[in-house]
Structure formats: structure tokens, C-alpha cells
Amino acid sequence: MEFGIVGLGRMGGNMARRLARQGHRIAIHNRGQAVSTALAAETGHLACASLADLVAALEAPRIVWLMLPAGEATRTALETLAPLLAPGDLVVDGANGHYKDDAPRAAALAAHGIDFADAGVSGGVWGLENGYCIMLGGGETAAARLRPWLDALAPAPGRGWLHTGPVGSGHYVKMVHNGIEYGMMQAFAEGFALMRQKPGFDLDVAAIAELWRHGSVVRSWLLDLSADALARDADLTTIEAFVADSGEGRWTALDAVEQGIPAPVMSLALMMRFASQGGNDYAAKLLAMMRQGFGGHAVKGSEA
């Protein structure tokens, strides 16, 4: 056994399950031991109570794949692993990390003789059944070592994963991927809102979404998900109008500014998410006040 996964949330847990279905037995570790134990009972993987136990369970040269939240959790895990691993081992950061963090982390691990790769992973909760799209940054040696595992995680061997280039490139490509995702989602949301609220036509948005899935140039997985949701509840009565944003959407917009490359769709889609979170509330109140001031227009008062 040479491969281990650290972090068994929605993505990491299902990646471990997919590897089990492909006939691989791996070591697994999660901060909550109960999660590791339950998944081990389900898959036949080896549950490890700590990072030290996981490293000890693996045969050198080891591969440790991190599926932790980006930021502090990943940084702490890397700092803990560095003295535990041996020269020739490989660490993969599969979180939605910032690509600018990758080169310093690779250099820090290289000082211990440990290789590093970054992986952008897409597929969400459907990756278990459909496979994951994986964007891998790192050296040629790391990519070659990871090929059997990437083939098992991807939709099919040799399809659905790509060695994108040097360290940092995998996270960068995934960052742009998520920026594009923001824009596509916003376009669908605006279009269906227009049709749902158009007076006089009484448009069946669920039927239209299903129609567009077949032969339309806008057919996509996002449309499939929208059609399924609208078929269940076209009014979306149980959904709050609040849309969270990940760090990757912000990083994409900032990268566009740094490069001086116009990216209005992705940037405005990010701004709309801020608005849904209440970020536009104060500005809207000020607009209403100014309109009242110069034109005497009525202002809606808030309930105390």
C-alpha cells in the first residue's frame, strides 16, 4: 500500500470510494476518526488515527493526497507531514488552493527531498459515479507516478485528467475553470428569471429547461441540474436567495486585473454573488435615499 488520502469530506470520501471500486486499497485519515472508521468498514481501506499512523502504514515511496479545505487546514497538514515523510515521497494538494501558494510549498518540501504536485479536481458529488476531471500541476516524474491513480479517479483511463504543466498550473487552470463556471451559472439564472417573470406568456420554465437539454447549443451539465431542480419546484420556494462564493472566483477576477485581461462576465458574476449575500444592501438604501432627495420619490421603510 503506497497511497493515502487525507480529508474525507464530500470530495475526498467519494474519491476513496471510487478507488475502492477500481480495486485499490489505500490508507485514509480524517480529523474526525469516526468518519475514517466508517469509510474503512464500507470500502476495505485502512483507517488511520493520525497523519503519523498514515505515513507509517504506507510503503515508501509514498503518495499522500490531501483533500482538505484550502488555507490553514492544508498548511498545517503539510507542515505536519514534512518531518514524517521520507525523500522520494510525493504529496498532492487536491484542495481548491491558490496557485501562488504552490511554488513555495513545493520548495519547502523539496528541502526534505519530498516531491509536490497540485491537483484541481472537478466533479462534485457526481464524481463517484461519473469520475473526476483532474488538472495536475507538477513535474513529469510526479505525473508518471500518479498516472494509475488518476486513471482510476478519472471517467476513463487516459481521459478526464491532464498534466497541465509545472507546479501551480493545476490549481491555476482549476481557478479559471471555476471563474467560467460562475459566468455560465449566472447566465442561466438570469435567462430563467426573465422567462419566469415575463407577463402574458405563462412560460413553463421546467419544460423549457428540458427542451434545451436536447439539441440546443446551451445544453450542458449545469442545464441538466437546472432542469432537474425546476421539474421538482419551478418556484424554488424552499431555496433562499443567497449564493456563496469560493475563493477561486475572487482569485480569477483578481488575476484578470493583474494581467490586464478583460473578464467582465466572470467578474460581474462574482459581484452578483456578493449582492445575494447582502453586499449591495447599503448601496441600495443610499440609492433610494438619493432618489427621494432629488425627486421626492417614496421610500420603502424597513420593519423595526
C-alpha distance from residue 251 to each of 67, 270, 293 (Å): 20, 10, 39
Catalytic residue among 181, 210, 248, 258: 181
* 300 flagged as catalytic: no
Read off the C-alpha cell for 9: 469530506
User: What is the three-class DSSP state of 110?
Assistant: helix
Select from 128, 221, 219, 122 the least CA-distant residue to 176.
Answer: 122
Distance CA(119)–CA(78), nearest Å, equals 15
> What is the Cα 11 distance to its own chain's centre?
9
User: Strand order of the sheet with strand 3-6?
Assistant: 46-47, 27-29, 3-6, 63-66, 90-93, 115-122, 133-137, 161-165
Catalytic residue among 59, 174, 190, 285: 174
Distance CA(204)–CA(186), nearest Å, equals 20
* 174 flagged as catalytic: yes
One-letter amino acid of 91: V
Which residues are known catalytic residues? 174, 181
